[in-house]
């Protein structure tokens, strides 16, 4: 059962959806016929982020070719790549007036490059239409294709994000088609190709892992020079998804954040409702020690 303190926190964030300040974000997304991971993944922070003028645009459609058991994004045959999406995404960013945008996508194993060229096109068009805007692509693993990674990096993002999601022992249960070492290697290669671009990853708590296993993953990410880390509670989207095995207490997040910072991360967000793109601009500023 969800602890009372966590239910209250979720309810507070949902209430923000009825705040009039969310209208600008909703209107810009609707006008652009854009998907967001905020809606597709049923993010509990949607109200808070929309009220602050923040969202994560999900490009390349709303259907995934893998269908991980923790994720609410639907598994189905994807539609063809929408060539007009870069223009609409750039226009939506302009209408929302944001300076830092996160882009993500479902996994597209049906595309030869995993959708990397489309990521490039969207980032390039956003930067073309919105001077000074920074972009953070949260990418799939591209099936280990490093050329695809190079394509995305060549667009000049501020951060290259890829979520490790969980501990290696749970990959078979939770991450169908993914590979722990492949994900680590993508983050490692990003630093080798363009060391000036920050790297970022995220881990969910509550799938059945132990704190010792989490610390081992944090050490692996630090060893591969990942700069930014997010840690948050897994919440099952529906009864057919992976069940929540435990609810981590706030004290555990505090311990893990301290551990990660001591391991060498430049910025860490840890808490029950933290998600991989939550307050992404703030984490970037913290890691760079700058203003945007």
Total of domains in the chain: 1
84 closest CA partner among 59, 48, 53 = 59
E strands present in the chain? 35-36, 56-58, 63-64, 74-75, 100-104, 134-138, 159-161, 198-205, 228-233, 267-270
Give residue 40's pLDDT: 47
Terminal Cα-to-Cα distance of the chain (whole angstroms): 41
Q: What is the pTM of this model?
A: 0.87
216 closest CA partner among 271, 143, 164, 266 = 164
pLDDT tens series, the chain, 292 aa: 778 877 777 776 665 555 555 555 556 555 555 655 554 445 555 555 655 556 788 999 877 767 666 666 666 778 899 999 999 999 999 988 888 999 999 889 999 999 999 999 999 999 999 999 999 999 999 999 999 999 999 999 999 999 999 999 999 888 878 999 999 999 999 999 999 999 999 999 999 999 999 999 999 999 999 999 999 999 887 777 878 999 999 999 999 999 999 999 999 999 999 988 889 999 999 999 876 5
Q: Assign 3-class secondary structure to 100-146.
A: EEEEECCCCCCCCCCCHHHHHHHHHHHHHHCCCCEEEEECCCHHHCH
Task: Report whether 238 contacts 203 (CB < 8 A).
Answer: no
Q: Which residues of 29-62 are buried (b: 16+ CB within 10 A; e: fewer)?
A: beebebbbbbbbbebbbbbbbbbbebbbbbbbbb
Residue that is written with structure tokens 């073309």 in the block: 128
For residue 43, what are the domain limits?
4-108+115-288
Measured at the alpha carbon of residue 107, what is the angle toward residues 96 and 37, in degrees to the nearest 5? 30
132: CATH: 3.20.20.70
Give residue 14's pLDDT: 63
């Amino acid at each position: 059962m969800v602890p009372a303190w966590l239910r209250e926190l979720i309810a507070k964030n949902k209430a923000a959806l009825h705040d009039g300040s969310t209208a600008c974000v909703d209107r810009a997304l609707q006008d652009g016929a854009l998907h967001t991971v905020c809606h597709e993944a049923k993010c509990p922070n949607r109200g808070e982020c929309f009220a602050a003028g923040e969202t994560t645009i999900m490009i390349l459609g709303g259907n995934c070719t893998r269908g991980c058991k923790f994720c609410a994004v639907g598994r189905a045959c994807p539609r063809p790549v929408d060539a007009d999406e870069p223009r609409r995404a750039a226009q939506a960013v302009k209408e929302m007036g944001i300076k830092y945008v996160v882009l993500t996508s479902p996994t597209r194993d049906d595309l030869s490059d995993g959708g990397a060229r489309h990521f490039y096109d969207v980032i390039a068009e956003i930067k073309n239409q919105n001077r000074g805007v920074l972009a953070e692509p949260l990418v799939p693993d591209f099936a280990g294709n490093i050329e695809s990674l190079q394509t995305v990096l060549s667009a000049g993002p501020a951060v290259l994000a890829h979520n490790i999601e969980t501990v290696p022992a749970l990959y078979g249960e939770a991450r169908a088609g993914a590979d722990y070492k492949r994900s680590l290697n993508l983050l490692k290669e990003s630093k080798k190709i363009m060391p000036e671009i920050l790297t970022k990853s995220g881990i969910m708590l509550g799938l059945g892992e132990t704190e010792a296993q989490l610390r081992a993953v944090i050490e692996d990410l630090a060893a591969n020079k990942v700069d930014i880390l997010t840690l948050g509670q897994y919440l099952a989207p529906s009864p057919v998804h992976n069940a929540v095995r435990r609810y981590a207490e706030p004290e555990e997040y505090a311990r893990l954040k301290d551990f990660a910072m001591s391991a060498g991360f430049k910025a860490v967000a840890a808490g029950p409702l933290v998600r991989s793109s939550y307050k992404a601009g703030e984490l970037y500023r913290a890691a760079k020690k700058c203003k945007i």
